[in-house]
Structure 1
Amino acid sequence: MTRPSYLKAIDGVLAPIGFARSGREWIRVRGEIEERVDLQKSGIDGGVTVNVWAKDLQTERILRSIPCHKMLGIRQVGVRIGTLIDGYDRWWRNNPDGPPDLAEAVRLYAVPWFDQVRTLEDQASKWYGRGTRQPWRKPNLAALAVTLARLGSIDEALALFEAPVPKTAIPALVAEGKCVQRWLKSQSRHA
């Protein structure tokens, strides 16, 4: 009898709960949330690990509709499975117990992670750092602002852009933020 591969072992956990596999990725959409699992292979020693990702598709559609110098989108929120297990990076090596062990970790830690954020309020606080300082340092500042607008908190979203832009801010993120700020101002005039 042959042992299952990592792909087959993980597929055995994810396919029955609605994830469709494409290569080394599994995707499922529940409501407006796209959930993604990917199997990452190390180029150094052949080990593997799993990353889990999520994004709100309506927030992404809104971002993509905002006029800007380039198309805006969401940087997916994600975490490596080892972080979910015990806070440490973990890689599985090709050993007889590797595939079933990793599949069990996906079942115990990755699948429940998707249920932690289901509402816009959760997304704003848990994914995008609502209420934390230094908004210009958030890679998903644009997504936070749109999420707040979807919650009806346009004034709070606009306030994100009132903080002075630090000299060390990433120029592309600042440019995206300015586009979202203009969009928010137009939304507040229509409200």
Structure 2
Amino acid sequence: MATRVPRAVLFDRDGTLIRDVPYNGDPEYVVPMPTVADALGALRRRGVLVGVVSNQSGIARGLLTRREVDAVNARVDGLRGPFDVWRICPQGEDDGCACRKPAPGMVVSACRALGVAPSETALIGDIAADMGAASAAGVHGILVPNTTTRRDEVRGAAEVAATVGEAVRRLLGEGGST
């Protein structure tokens, strides 16, 4: 667990902030995950910066356009924002970029944009790639599994919380029960 309140918390988008609709390009399908509104409110009241880091390989695969991803992000921002930083990786798994999670590029870039050190940052996500990016970037990672998170991903995570709200309460030193 974190020993001090982070200055920034980054979130994965799909499956963490909003329900995961594979390759969603339609803002009408954006449904916030439970406990997210309260968790974001708690962070903002404490002055903690919040951001989003999201792989969007559907762009590289030709399944989505950047404009569609931006429209979904705008809907997320309208429902649960404003977020202090957004970082999106449009690359595919085999493109070898440094930003696509589990690589640390998006996380490091978000920290730099926020003016915070990775050691002052946490990342909340729902899959092993999120936790890999957190580890590679030197940020505190908390896995919040959902129905699509694999058991081996849960077993491999250094820290697991049942909900985004629980993860945030831990980061704020307010306990971890849901």
Q: TM-score range by the shorter chain?
A: under 0.3
Larger Rg: 1
Which has the larger helix fraction? 1
TM-score norm. by structure 2 comes to: 0.25
**Larger RCO of the pair (alpha carbons < 8 Å, separation 6+):** 2
